[in-house]
């Protein structure tokens, strides 16, 4: 026997011995399974079609800011001037003003308006917009102004006949409490944008075929309810987001992509077994969670076993998936994670509970977390209670400009002011009272809050915005909510009855509140939310 033959025999013998040992030692174990080819789980809708659903759209337009105190500009490019003239005239029932003179006033300024419109938003929902004075003009400040109105289209579409996606209007907000410098030629209209229509989700088949489109339509309607899917062309299917997923639109899109086109009892069992195993052990746990939710209630019994996993993320994903499928078996698991002060998933869990659990269960958990030591958790609990419209939060609209909200069920006193979304001042640990010796003045010196030692009321004064020699003075109690209302409620006109105010803007009052906390006038922590993120 030659050397090559000897080598062949030796290699063959080693391989046979290896297979023999593996076969004898583990006849039905994982070793034999790993050699078996993976089971074909069938095509998903995502493998047959592209799902088109942008998370956000950058929109922009031009508008006119009014109410400025001589800080605006008459300068405006001809094309924009023509557009604004036509737009303003179209908004008026009768053209009673000289539009050209209006634009030329130093009390107005032309601005670029842009915002990030989330496609998850429904018709008439609000979003923040950013305003910028046109470069090269003499506008020096947009402070105290009001955006009269603007049409918003996809960015870069000005001058092109394209659909108006949103409108914008409202009071200008210029942040004055950041440590960095303030550019008064840039501001925001908080929740100033309004979505004009629901943004549809649609599927485009990679190989257009009406028979396949009809199968996908029928499968999605079977899974999510009648009229969810509509095959409009051989290669296109339009989707409506079910009410259940209205607050989780992107999750719905992911579930659609993970939904299998056909199913049998045997293949469904194999799919569940596959994705439960992946959820318990793989790095891409999100995809496995989505796949199990796409399969539906058949996954519940296997998901239940994962609630005992030693991995907190596995327990969270299994419990959330079950909750979204209509089972509250995992609710106790989610509650435990939410209450665990060492968990990094507390806010995520709280959002999952509010989105899918019964209202009373969600409210009870959020109320408990209002007493948490961590302000971020208290704030998250408040946000969820606000979504639930819970009676723990008392709400008052101030001067049609912002909301004043008070929460009594918390040991920790704090003042939270929003700088994105709906303008609101939130008093945690209400009622909050000020100390008896107060002196706070606005940065420009026009507003003063004063209560010398021994005085039984707070004196609040404001200089007239256009006639500095005229000073208006009102009285308030030492309760912070009363001071805020006195500052910001609209001044009464002649023959009007009700509570008078000084008409101070939202931006100005949050600056005063920060001062009061910094000086110790109010025994409360001051917290400001983030500014809008608009790119």
Residue 419: predicted pLDDT? 96
In the chain, DSSP finds a helix count (H) and a strand count (E) of 17, 19
Say if residues 324 and 246 touch (Cβ distance below 8 Å): no
User: In this predicted model, what pLDDT tens digit does every residue of 142-188 receive, in sequence order?
Assistant: 999 999 999 999 998 887 778 899 999 999 999 988 877 788 999 99
Q: What is 240-267 written as a DSSP string?
A: PPPGGGTT-HHHHHHHHHH-BS---HHH
Strand order in the sheet with 414-417: 393-398, 402-407, 424-428, 414-417, 525-528
Would strands 414-417 and 525-528 be described as parallel, antiparallel, or unpaired?
A: parallel
For 14, 39, 66, the CA distances from 28, given in Å and listed in that order, are: 22, 17, 79
CB 103 within 8 A of CB 84: yes
Give the length of the chain: 535
Q: How high is the pLDDT of residue 327?
A: 95
**Which of 332, 392, 333 is closest to 367 using CA atoms?**
392
pTM (2 d.p.): 0.85
Domain ranges for the chain, please list them: 44-248, 427-528
Task: Work out the angle at residue 10's Cα, subtended by the Cα atoms of residues 6 and 16, and round it to the nearest 5 degrees.
Answer: 145
Asked whether 322 and 303 are in contact (CB, 8 A), the reply is yes
The answer to whether the CB of 291 falls within 8 A of the CB of 275 is yes
**Is the preceding omega at residue 351 within 30 degrees of 0, hence cis?**
no
**Residue of 232, 237, 228, 292 lying closest to 260 (CA atoms):** 292
pLDDT for 492 equals 81
Asked if 165 contacts 195 with a C-beta cutoff of 8 angstroms, the reply is: yes
* 280 within 8 A of 67, measured Cβ to Cβ: no
Q: What is the pLDDT of residues 488-525, one digit of tens each?
A: 998 887 666 777 899 999 999 999 999 999 999 999 99
At residue 534, the pLDDT reads 87
pLDDT less than 70: residues of the chain:
1-38, 54, 93-95, 465-469, 494-496, 535
Residue that is written with structure tokens 């030591």 in the block: 373
Which of 412, 337, 408 lies closest to 374 in space, CA to CA? 412
State the residue for tokens 């942040």: 175
Query: What's the DSSP call for residue 134?
Result: P
Concatenated DSSP letters of 441-462: E-TTS-EEEEE-TT-SSEEEEE
């Amino acid at each position: 026997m030659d050397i090559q033959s000897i080598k062949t025999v030796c290699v063959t013998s080693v391989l046979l011995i290896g297979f023999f040992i593996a076969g004898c030692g583990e006849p039905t174990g994982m070793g034999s399974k790993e050699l078996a080819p993976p089971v074909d789980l069938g095509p998903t809708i995502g493998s047959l079609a592209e799902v088109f659903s942008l998370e956000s759209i950058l929109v922009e337009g031009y508008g006119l800011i009014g109410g400025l105190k001589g800080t605006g500009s008459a300068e405006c490019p001809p094309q924009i001037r023509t557009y604004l003239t036509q737009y303003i005239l179209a908004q008026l029932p009768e053209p009673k003003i000289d539009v050209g003179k209006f634009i030329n006033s130093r009390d107005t300024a032309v601005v670029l308006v842009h915002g990030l419109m989330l496609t998850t938003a429904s018709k008439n929902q609000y979003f923040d917009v950013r305003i910028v004075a046109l470069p090269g003009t003499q506008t020096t400040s947009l402070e105290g102004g009001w955006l009269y109105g603007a049409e918003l289209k996809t960015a870069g579409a000005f001058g092109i006949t394209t659909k108006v996606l949103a409108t914008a209007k409202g009071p200008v907000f210029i942040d004055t409490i950041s440590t960095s410098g303030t550019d008064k030629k840039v501001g925001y209209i908080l929740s100033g944008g309004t979505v004009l229509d629901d943004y549809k989700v649609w599927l485009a088949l990679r190989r257009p075929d009406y028979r396949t489109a009809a199968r996908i339509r029928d499968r999605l309607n079977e899974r999510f309810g009648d009229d969810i899917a509509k095959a409009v062309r051989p290669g296109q299917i339009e989707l409506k987001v079910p009410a259940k997923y209205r607050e989780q639109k992107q999750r719905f899109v992911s579930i659609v992509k993970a939904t299998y086109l056909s199913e049998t009892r045997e293949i469904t069992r194999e799919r569940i077994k596959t994705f439960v195993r992946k959820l318990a052990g793989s790095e891409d746990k999100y995809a496995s969670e989505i796949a199990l939710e796409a399969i539906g209630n058949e996954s519940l019994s296997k998901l239940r076993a994962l609630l005992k996993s030693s991995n907190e993320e596995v327990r969270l994903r299994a419990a959330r998936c079950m909750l979204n499928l209509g089972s509250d078996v995992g609710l106790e698991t989610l509650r435990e994670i939410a209450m665990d002060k060492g968990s990094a998933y507390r806010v995520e869990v709280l959002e999952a509970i509010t989105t899918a659990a019964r209202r009373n269960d969600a409210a009870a958990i959020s109320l408990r977390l209002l007493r948490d030591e961590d302000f971020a958790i208290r704030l998250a609990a408040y946000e969820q209670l606000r979504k639930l419209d819970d009676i723990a939060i008392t709400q008052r609209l101030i001067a049609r400009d912002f909301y004043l909200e008070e929460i009594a069920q918390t040991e920790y006193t704090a003042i939270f002011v929003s700088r994105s979304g709906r303008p609101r001042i939130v008093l945690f640990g209400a009622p909050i009272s000020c100390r008896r010796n107060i002196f706070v003045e606005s940065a420009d010196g026009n507003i003063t809050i004063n209560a010398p030692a021994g005085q039984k009321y707070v004196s609040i004064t404001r200089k007239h915005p256009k006639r500095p020699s005229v000073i208006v003075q009102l009285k308030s109690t030492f309760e912070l909510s009363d001071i805020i209302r006195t500052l910001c409620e609209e001044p009464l006109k002649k023959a009007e009855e009700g509570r008078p105010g000084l008409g101070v803007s939202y931006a100005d009052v949050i600056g005063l509140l920060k001062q009061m906390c910094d000086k110790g006038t109010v025994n409360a922590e001051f917290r400001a939310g983030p500014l809008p993120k608009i790119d």
